[in-house]
Structures are given as structure tokens and as C-alpha cells.
Amino acid sequence: MDFKKLLVPGAEVYFIGIKGTGMCALAELMKGLGIRVSGSDRSEVFYTDAVLKELGIPYHESFEREHIGNPGLVVHSAAYNFETNVEMAEARRRGLPVLKYTDALGGYSALFDSSGIAGVHGKTSTTAICGMLVRGAGLSAQVLAGSAVGSFGGGCTLNMGDRFFIAETCEYRRHFLSFHPKRIVLTSVESDHQDYYPSYEAIRDAFLEYARLLPEGGELIYCADDPGAGEVAAMLEREGRGIRFIPYGFKSEGPFRVVSCQVKDERVRFSLASFPPSEAAAGAQSSPSVEFALKIPGRHNILNASAALALTDSLVRAETGTSLKAGGGWNRERIEKVRRALEEFSGSKRRQEILGEACGILFMDDYGHHPTAIKLTLAGLKEFYPARRLVVSFMPHTYSRTAFLIDEFASSFAATDMVFLHKIYASARESYSGGVNGRVLYEKTKAFLDGSCSGGTVHYTEEPLEAGGLLKTLLRPGDLFVTMGAGDNWKLGRMLFDYYREKEVAQ
């Protein structure tokens, strides 16, 4: 399929399942190219409804054969197929070109100098930070993140030109193999999606397969602190493909090594070994010249920001045609704009998203649903808010992940003062007949915390909203209440925030 011929100004593309985060974002980018975009979805209201209406993209809230029209391309969400969706069936009957979202994203990426952000966790935040930094650096780029970003105007995309394309790319079912990267940022590789990858080696090999898509002269920017990412980089390097390897992190060598970090004035402040990087400074032990700051907590976000700085540096060098030896196209003004852009970053939707403060209680929502992400996020919050009691609601996502990693999950809440656990949020993509459920995780977590002398208490309610009554008696001014997970327990946080906000107004 020749995307250069399909995606020209005036062409028409129809999206089936247009309210999906990625679908809406891709539709927005295509509209920015002058393409006529329309689509369909269910009538249920999503946050993307407001995005689509603001963009002026028309869509139907039902699936009917006559909706299709005569587009040059039909893009569909993975949630729909030819057997169950009448619009897809009609498109196939008429011989229209039809692509799954991930394949359409891959074809779109082939039109640009593209960079893929990948990893089991951290990829959404890293992509969002990249968007802020490339905008600060004044680069001609489009950015697509996997969640809404406040700094993107509440949407998932930034459109600042057509030289570079940066996108979050997904490992599930090897979806990222459709992408055409010149650079890959690899944040983390560990066991996940056990319904598709039965072992760590299986998911590691998928990431390795993705990295092999890099052309000669391409770049793999990887987290040296993450064993899995380091292993993929080492395996790829042994293959001698002519790829440049750029490590970042506390344990890395080279300019993107984190050499200092501290929490001060509700900011995480850190410095790299050398920024802007240069060949002379890459191996030097001289004092770093730039201090960066983040207003979102956690060591993991320092790593995400370091990755974004490394990618931004690569794009600046590509834009200006300069090398490390020549200073990489940086000047004092550009450095300061990037530094300010990083400090202004306020997170993305459901990634340490602050809902607000009411009656002295700070409410936050976070998507973390893997034990490693949970541990890192909670440790960062405890460090960032040392005077606040940390109260967490967690809803596990998928039976296969919970069963496979249940001991890791049970030990991931050590930083909490109080944790509420709930039933497993099931996925339509798996069938499970084992004995692990939310209550089993509760028992294991309680046993771990009781044995660790951490002082944290554990509660269980099958449904998240059932915890509301007890939480209203336990929460007190100065607390930080966080809903975590990929389920729908975020509704508990919203309900409690609204309750305390109304209570505060009434006082």
C-alpha cells in the first residue's frame, strides 16, 4: 500500500472506532495534513468526544453500512473485526483498502524521519516529555502519545511540522513491528502481557525483533538501569548492524549518565554528565553545566526525562547536520528553552495526574499496573511528599498478569501507609480458569506487609466504590490518596474528590 499516494491533501480516510485514544490521535494528525477525516464509534462518551468535536472531525455514534462513503482508506481499531462489524464487512465487500490502526500508524511513520518510544512501562510519559522538549527546541515534528497530555492542549498529539515523527509504539502482539523507526527509545523490558508472551524470553525477543528494524546508522537509545533493555542492546550490538547505541540513566556511561539528583522545593532536580553532549565531554568527569528540574516525582521520571533529552539531542543534530564533535547544534538559548519546557511538564492523563486538593487531601490518579511501575511510582511519591500519609487504591488488570506476578505485586506496596485492593479488572482478550483473584492478592499483600513491619494496613473491597464509605472515615487532612491501575477504580478517586470538594465548599 503506497501511503504517499493515499495520504495527500484532499484524500478521504474513514476511522472505525475513532474514539479510541490512538485512533483519535492518528485522525488528528491526518487532518493536519489536509486529509478529509471522518469515522464512527459507539455512543458511549469518552474524553476523545470533546477532542474530535473541537477538531471539527465528523463521526457517527453507531455502525451502519451506509456510513462508509467512498474513502481511499479505512482504518479500524483492533477492537473490531470483519465478522462482527458491519462497516468493516461493507468495506471489504466493496474492495476498499482496510488497515488495522497499528498498521496505519506504521504506514504513516514511513512518510517521516520517525522515532519509536517503546518499553513495558514508561513509554507514555517519555513520549509526552519528548513532545515538550522538541517543541522547546523549535524542531519541525509531530508527536503522538498514548494518552492525553495537558501540555498538548488536552489531546494526544502535537503538530509542529513534518520533518520528524515521534510516536509511542506498543509491544502487545508485536504491534510495533509495523513501525518504521530511524531511532528507538527503549525504556524497559521485562515479563508482561502473559496472555501473549508466556515468558520473559518471549517478550525480550519481540523487543529485539523491533530493534532490528533500525536501519544502518540508526540509533537505539536505551535505559542502562533496566536489565532487559540492556540485554536487548547487548544482543543487538553483537549482531554488528552498524547501529549507534546511546545509553542513559544512573548506571550508564557517556553524556546521558545521571550524575546528581535531589528533591527540593517540590521539584526533582538532576544533572547529566554532559549537556549538551560532545565527544570531548562524553568521557569527562567535569562538573555538569545544566541542572534540570521536574515537578512530577520519582526516580523513574528522571530516567524518562533523560531518555527524552537524548532523543531531542539526536533530532537537533539531525536537523542541523552537526556531530557530537561540533557541539550538536545547541546554543545557550535553545538549551534554556528545553530546560524550561521540561520543568513545565505536568504529566499526562492517568500518569500521576493530580485531580486536585480538597479538605487538605491531595487526590491523584495513576495508570501504573505492573509491579515495577507501582514500586517506583510509590517510592517517588513518598520521597516527594514526605509529610503526607500515602493511601492507595489498586485494581489489578488481567488475571494472567496478576497470577504470573502475584508475589511481585504483593511486595510492591511497601511504601504505602494504607492500601485498598479490589477485584481483578478482567480483559476481553483472555480466558482464565485458575484460582487467583483479587482476594488472593489481598491475602498475600497483607501477609507481606504484616511481616515487613512497614506499618501499612491493607483493606479489601470487591468493587472499588464499595471502599468509599470506609475511606471517608479514614482519610484526613495532609493525606495523599492515589488510585492506581488500568482498571476503573479511578472512579473511586473522582467520587471522593468530588465529595471532599463539596464538603470544603459547605464549610
Break the chain into its structural domains and give their ranges.
3-101, 112-344, 353-506
Place of cell 506496596: 413
pLDDT digits (tens, 9 = 90+) for 411-441: 899 889 999 999 988 766 666 667 788 899 9
User: What pLDDT score does 327 carry?
Assistant: 58
pLDDT digits (tens, 9 = 90+) for 248-278: 999 999 999 999 988 877 788 999 998 888 6
Q: State the CB neighbour count (10 A cutoff) for residue 250.
A: 16
What are the grid coordinates assigned to 111, written together?
A: 512518510
Higher pLDDT, 124 or 167: 167
Higher pLDDT, 325 or 87: 87
How confident is the model over 81-102, as a mean pLDDT?
A: 94
What are the grid coordinates assigned to 334, written together?
A: 535553545
**Same topology between domain 3-101 and domain 112-344:** no
pLDDT digits (tens, 9 = 90+) for 299-309: 888 999 999 99
Higher pLDDT, 366 or 185: 185
Q: Does position 376 have pLDDT exceeding 70, yes or no?
A: yes
For the chain, the first-to-last Cα distance in angstroms comes to: 63
**CATH of segment(s) 112-344:** 3.40.1190.10
How confident is the model over 132-141, as a mean pLDDT?
A: 95
Decide: 163 and 174 in contact? Cβ < 8 Å.
no
Decide: 346 and 295 in contact? Cβ < 8 Å.
yes
Q: Does position 324 have pLDDT exceeding 60, yes or no?
A: no
Q: Yes or no: is domain 353-506 CATH 3.40.50.300?
A: no
CATH class of segment(s) 3-101:
alpha beta
Rounded CA-CA distance 158/164 in Å is: 11
User: What pLDDT score does 110 carry?
Assistant: 92
- Identify the band that residue 348 occupies on the pLDDT scale cut at 50, 70 and 90: low
Rounded CA-CA distance 225/187 in Å is: 9
User: What pLDDT score does 20 carry?
Assistant: 87
